[in-house]
Chains A and B, each alone.
Chain A
Amino acid sequence: MRNSFTLLVLLLMCCWVPALAQENTVSGRVTGADEGMPLPGVSVTVKGTTIGTTTDADGRFTLNVPSDESILEFRFLGYRIQEVRVGNQRQVNVVMATDTQQLDEVVVTALGITREKKALGYAAQEVRTEELVQNRQPNVLNAMQGKVAGVTISSTGGAPGQGANIQIRGINSIDPNRPNQPLFVIDGIQVNNSTSTFGEGAELRGMSNRLADLNPDDIESINILRGGAATALYGLRGANGVVVITTKSGQKGEMRVNFTSTAGWEEVNKFPKIQDTYTQGYTGEYDPTSFWPSWGPTWQEARQIDPTHPEGIYNHFEDAYETGNQFRNTLTFSGGTDAITFSSSLSRLDHEGVLPFTDYQNTSARLNTEVKLSEKFSTGGNFNYIRSGGKRYNADRFNEMLSYWSPRWDVRDYVKPDGTMQSYGNDNPIYAASTNQFEDDVSRFIGGLNFSYKPLSWLDFNYRIGLDTYTDDRTRTAPGPRNVPDERLLDENGQGFVHEYTTKFRSINSTFIASLNKSFGDQFNATVRVGHELYDEYIKSFGVQGEELSVFDFFKLSNARFLSSSENESEYRLMGIFGEASFDYGDFLFLTLTGRNDITSSLAKAKRSFFYPSASISYIASEHLELPEFINQTKVRLSYAQIGKDASPYSISSGYAPYTSLPTGYTGATRAALLGNRELKPEFTNTYEAGLEMSFLDNRIGFDFTYYYSLSKDQILNIDVASTTGYVRAAINAGKMRNKGVEIVLNATPVRTTNFNWDTKLIFSANRNKILSLPEGLEEVTYASQFGYVGSTVTMKLIEGQPYGNIYGSHWQRYYGPGEEEDPLFIDESRPIVIGANGFPVRAPLSSQKLLGNSQPDWIGGFTNTFTYKGLSLTALLDARVGLEKYNQMDNFFAAFGIAEYTEDRNQTRVFDGVLSDGTPNTKEVWLGQGVGPDGVDYGNGYYRNHYRGVSENFVEDASWVRLRSLTLRYSLPQQWFDSIFIRNAALSFTGNNLWLSTDYKGFDPETSFSPSGSNVDGFSGFTYPAVRSYLFTLNIGL
């Protein structure tokens, strides 16, 4: 009843106002400079009075002003405040410019608490929708690349839907199996961003990180909470940082419809350089059926023997990849009344990759709604349904098979008319991709309800309950033999198989917060919050593997001769009770104290409950002191936080797992892979952070500088252990790790005129990690290794005093004279290489494994420039990652199989630069080729196979890069075109991603990674799904 009354009053007011004040009425329209779109909800006030209104959904306003001298003030979150003197104008149209340097901004912090940015005693950086959708990346994480300080985001490869990895302030956790990924919170609901590798071989199939389900067009803003003080209230799940995502909500007013369509194509952005001289065979002898793809003679020589040999050899790497394409449509509806607002969207993405037969689809539907039941009580709901998935292929195998494939043959000729593999002998990778399939189909629902009750002006209660649940069905199939004459079977297809896997995931997240706010005098304010949070997660996975198909291509389990099963179940529960007290004095000094006690189900009873505090201070000098005029704002921040962290579920228990290598009718048990540890205690990280934010010259230049230092001790990790222990991994509390670093955000507007704006933003961050101590009795902890031929396998291990990410491996022997001591860890590159009596460089004994590189960058940077001229804008984002190394396994194979461009010198002689074991210079001339050289000496398998490929040092490369991450040209069609038609606004844009890449790395784009997203192992980039360069066209229409 009362609601209807309120509505009636409002309606009356709407009609009443124009009638009252006809003479002094000013009306107009507010649009955003960035997209030229009308801005709804802009606050329009007459300066110095309480007269004001907000713009409607169309950006229009009407206001009664007291006099012509009145000054209208336009305020809108994320835009610069604009003042306009009314004068004799009755129509005031305003274009508002975006502002990323506003201390008055309100930001969403932990647990959905909105706070003024100036009150924050820690770094927080927000990415808004305009910035986010600019490069039209289907995966939200990729869309954030290069835009946030302190955050390293890597796409693990260019496959459609392929997972991306995000790291905030370096690696905090030693355990590669314990994702270092931040917590993701969408509209207050903790959502899952795992990358599931359930299903045979899934870890190499470029599976999606679950956040890829989210449609970037749905997002209003993303706030990244980096330090301990920022994430303290989230408890241990926020220990690696928190990404707080707010999706678009509706505005009251008439319904608006927005349609966005993106279409484009993509191609591999970087291919390795390969030789184009030598053809199939071994020791220079031509053999068109040889396993060896390129150790034969030159193709010209081969043509003398075999006239069917093509003129030249194929570039099989370029041939095997295609042009991919993508197409995404999003339709959104929003609107509402005073009581109810809503925003909904529907979207569909179709994406085909550059590796043949890989694709990804995503269909998403969303409804966000807010209901204001009374002045005291409001409620709302967010609902998102997603269906996603596609065909994935194993890029590691694909590129490995490509390496074995002889470029004497056309790899694209992959199938015979009878459907079997076309091949001269080796497996054809395209045939493999076309037949050996792995398809996922995810059906996901994320929903949340929130209730807010404010019985008194100083008291409010907030409760939110959220659900994230999905089913991930995966089907892995390969056809069996067709039993036709001369059939060649593909290794990995075996006798045909069908595997069915299902994972059910469910997490419930409940948060209750009570807030009390009290002012003492006009200078002192206090807010106290207490709350309770619960997270309850259940995952169940099961699979049935059917091997050997009776009907070769009938992919049903009942058609398989042998069945086996796999299953896994996990439950995890976490409860936190927390409090926060914040005080502000005189609007320039802010102090926030927090405390949280977590109780986790993953530790033993005695260690399960633990408490940790945080404190942060923000001091706004510019509000307190008289500063020179050119300084607009000055803010100093200081914070300290402690964060606890628990173990992965079941790290404390050992036992026996089913032994699954038995046929039906037999059962067995075998020692579980993990040696559990009941004594595990929570690990704690202490972080200290200091920051300074300043802006100058009418806010045209500003910076935000942050320094942090964090120390983690008693890290919980599952280390790989030697099989002689009888286990694969063991859970331990291990040692100390330190991270420290700086983050800088620079904003400037070098040009600001009525029609032309130039905005620039520079982010820079550098993190330094060091392992301070390892558990007693361990000299090193190996957490990853990757194969390399004859002793060139590299390992990533933790060694005291060294940083995380170090890559170790075999190396050339350097010369040390009598009495000179060799450092066991570091290569002294100033020393000459020792050359053996045979004239070839000598590899140091394999027991000597030295540091060859580090996979963590020295620094990362992003540099965005936006030029806006009327409705036209051009944005360029340069992204850099510098000072890191990766192991290039592909190059190791390229050396072994004579594919690399540098193996072109195989039929030359050389005097290797170096010294003999007695220190005298080497003068012996040797032949690099295979077999008997021109000097009559038998060189066997040749330099590249006998020597070069066996030394890891040759394959750990500088993986630094600088790239033009994106270039976007956008044109908003002039507003006047639409004044009389049903379209409100329209814009066209072109986006190019990865248009330019500069790197010394020899393989594919070194941003790609062998490991699935979510892994902490980022040192291997060889046979990866190559990154892509994409060209996208977008049309946006508002109705």
Chain B
Amino acid sequence: MRKIFRYILAFAIMGAVAGLQGCEDYFDKEDNPNLVPNPPLPTLLTTTTHKTGINSYLVSNITSYFVQYLASPSAGGSSDTYQITDYTGTWDALYWAMADIYDMRQLAIEQGATEYVGVANVLMAYHLSLVNDMWGDAPYSEAFANITLTPAFDDEANLYDVTTQLLDEAIVELQKPESTVRLIATSDVIHEGNVANWVKTAYALKARQLNKLSGTSFYNPQAVLEAVDNSYTSNADNAEMGVFQTRNPWAAVALSNAGNLLGGWLSEQLIQHLDGTSYGVFDPRLEQITDPTVNGDFVGTPNGTGNVGPANNTVKDENYISRNSPLTGDESPLIIVSYPEVKLIEAEAAFRAGQLDRAFEAYREAIRASMELLEVAQADADAYLSSSAVAQSASELTLDRIFQEKYVVTYLNPEAWNDARRYDYQYANFTLPAGAALPTFIRRVAYPSGEASKNPNTPDVTDLSLPLWWDQ
């Protein structure tokens, strides 16, 4: 018995001594086993392209209330009624995505992977525009680079310039022939590794950026048209992201709503825009966007008012985001920028440049392509195209008509709010929401508390009717 314990003691002491001797390796636990120190570029490509799609949804889930695509089922919804609302979650998602994009860009530059540099530039430009168009001034030059823990806020107009510059660089980088690492189709969840489409997307975003200046003295419609020329030629080129863990996030909203977890209610403004109330002609795209109510008709919900009844809010007597729509089905991709939108940019720029024929052609093509994207039956599409809701000749074309169509084309896209602000919300029958917290339409959102509480450089913006620099 004693012997056994003696052995145990001896072993234990030996163990302790061995612990002492081998200590150098024994204590080498510097690298976190849960992390990858140097990820391959394709894994970052998947992350960044996926986040880009998701972020377009996150932003749109805010702006769609401002442009009255959506309305809260209850009265006084905070986004509906322009209240100061804390969008920390969206802000954080945008910046964490930009950090990944930034890292992908740095790694790609180190490795000479020009295609990845180009894609990173496009994605960064897109994110920057989302941030810039919601908040105005925002961190960029000191952000995500590990220079400071409290990045400075860059001027909104400078950020605009950076965005355009990033796109120009992207176009150059993407067209360099010798990328050391090639885009991989299965890792690129936006363009499946198609470099040519990335170039077109860079131009599409550039066209958007340039066209956004329509209200400023910097506006150059010719430059817009040049960008459009190099951009999409069909819906097949669209920048869209359709890879989801479960389902398209709008479809998830629709699914919850079906289970009476209310959300995704379509605004009265949108329904009346499409059902003939505002423009006299029933737009067949409405039936591809939503399902008829239990009563077989189309009823929207006024912003700020909530469920108007008469039945209670679980009776499906109004319209919602639909899982049957080609835009918001379980597997529908999130559209970042589309061919019909580019065509309407072209129509607007051409119109403003006085090239009415070109404007008219682009306008008609945009409507046709939009019908195609929404899988509208050819006969219905043709009927609409020949109806009084659509300009039938170049002379009938007006900016109002272009904005009228663009409102439909950018359904659930963040770009809609930029257009609404440029257009001063002059859509037919567009009114302030009931109980609006502002005397005028909303022009920006307040900085999120998440940033303000950790970064003392955050500006204190409380007046949401203050326009951004391009929105004068």
Contact = CB atoms under 8 A, between A and B. Distances in A.
Interface of A: 282, 289-292, 373-374, 377, 379, 425, 449, 451, 453, 463, 465, 481, 486-491, 494-495, 510, 512, 532, 534, 547-548, 561-562, 564, 567-573, 575, 577, 599-602, 604-605, 608, 649-650, 652-659, 661-663, 666-672, 675-676, 678, 719-727, 730, 777-780, 782, 785, 787, 790-791, 793, 795, 797, 845-847, 940-941
B217 interface: no
Contacts of B189: 666
B449 A793 contact: yes
A601 B27 CA distance: 4
A722 B148 CA distance: 10
B12 interface: yes
Interface residues of B, dominant DSSP? loop
Contacts of B2: 373-374, 377
Interface residues of B, number: 86
A655 B35 contact: yes
A373 B1 contact: yes
B134 to A, nearest CB: 14
17 contacts: A373-B5, A425-B312, A451-B5, A463-B16, A488-B260, A491-B261, A512-B12, A564-B245, A605-B28, A670-B47, A671-B96, A719-B149, A722-B149, A723-B96, A726-B144, A730-B149, A791-B84
Contacts of B145: 726
A571 B46 CA distance: 30
Interface stretch (B226-234, B372-380, B454-462): B454-462
A723 B151 CA distance: 10
B395 interface: no
A845 B30 contact: no
Contacts of B54: 661
A668 B453 contact: no
Contacts of A678: 30
Given A488-B314, A653-B31, A661-B50, 11 more contacts: A649-B32, A654-B35, A657-B36, A661-B245, A666-B46, A666-B189, A668-B44, A671-B100, A722-B139, A726-B145, A727-B99
B414 to A, nearest CB: 19
Contact of A453 (B9, B37, B98): B9
B261 A657 contact: no
B143 A669 contact: no
A569 B34 CA distance: 6
Interface string B85-107: 01000011001101110110000
Nearest to B72: A291
Contacts of A577: 20
B179 interface: no
A663 B34 CA distance: 20
A779 B456 contact: yes
Contacts of B51: 661, 670
Contacts of A721: 149, 454
A489 B435 CA distance: 29
A390 B261 CA distance: 29
A721 B454 CA distance: 6
A494 B247 CA distance: 13
A669 B34 CA distance: 11
B243 A725 contact: no
A291 B8 contact: no
Contacts of A604: 30
A662 B50 contact: yes
A797 B26 CA distance: 38
B15 interface: yes
Given A373-B1, A724-B95, A668 B20 contact: no
Interface in B1-59: 1-2, 5, 8-9, 12-13, 15-16, 19-20, 23, 26-37, 39, 43-44, 46-47, 50-51, 54
B303 to A, nearest CB: 16
B29 A722 contact: no
B50 A487 contact: no
Given A282-B75, A669-B44, A724-B455, A488 B259 contact: yes
B84 A790 contact: yes
B146 interface: yes
Contacts of B433: none
Given A486-B314, A782-B454, A568 B34 contact: yes
A285 to B, nearest CB: 10
Contact of B246 (A547, A655, A672, A722): A547
A487 B260 contact: yes
Interface string B130-146: 00000000110001111
**Considering the complex of A and B, which 9 residue pairs feature the smallest CB-CB distances, nearest first?**
A726-B99, A489-B259, A655-B35, A726-B144, A668-B47, A669-B39, A601-B29, A722-B455, A847-B460
B96 A662 contact: no
Given A724-B451, A730-B149, A663 B86 contact: no
B447 to A, nearest CB: 10
Contact of A722 (B100, B151, B261): B151
Contacts of B143: 724-726
Given A599-B23, A726-B99, A656 B37 contact: yes
B100 A451 contact: no
Contacts of B43: 656, 659, 667-669
A85 B460 CA distance: 84
A44 B387 CA distance: 113
Given A562-B245, A659-B50, A780-B456, A725 B144 contact: yes
Nearest to B74: A291
Nearest to A481: B259
Contacts of B256: 489, 491, 494
Contacts of A668: 43-44, 46-47, 50
Nearest to B455: A722
B20 A377 contact: no
B398 interface: no
B430 interface: no
Contacts of A777: 148-150
Contacts of A548: 246
A649 B13 CA distance: 27
B76 interface: yes
Given A481-B259, A726-B144, A571 B27 contact: no
A720 B454 contact: yes
Give the interface centre of B34, B46, B451 by most chain A CB atoms within 10 Å: B34
B150 A722 contact: yes
Contact of A534 (B16, B28, B187): B16
Given A289-B313, A655-B36, A790-B84, A489 B260 contact: yes
Nearest to A785: B453
B330 to A, nearest CB: 11
Contact of A782 (B16, B23, B39, B453): B453
A534 B18 CA distance: 11
A670 B34 contact: no
B372 to A, nearest CB: 28
Nearest to B40: A669
A532 B20 contact: yes
B470 to A, nearest CB: 22
Interface in B235-280: 243-246, 255-256, 259-261
A373 B458 CA distance: 72
B215 interface: no
A376 to B, nearest CB: 10
B83 interface: yes
Contacts of A605: 28, 30
A490 B255 CA distance: 12
A846 B86 CA distance: 13
B84 A725 contact: no
A780 B9 CA distance: 53
Contacts of B261: 488-491
B467 interface: no
Contact of B454 (A489, A512, A599, A722): A722
A143 B254 CA distance: 51
Give the interface centre of A377, A721, A726 by most chain B CB atoms within 10 Å: A726
Interface in B112-162: 138-139, 143-146, 148-151
B450 interface: yes
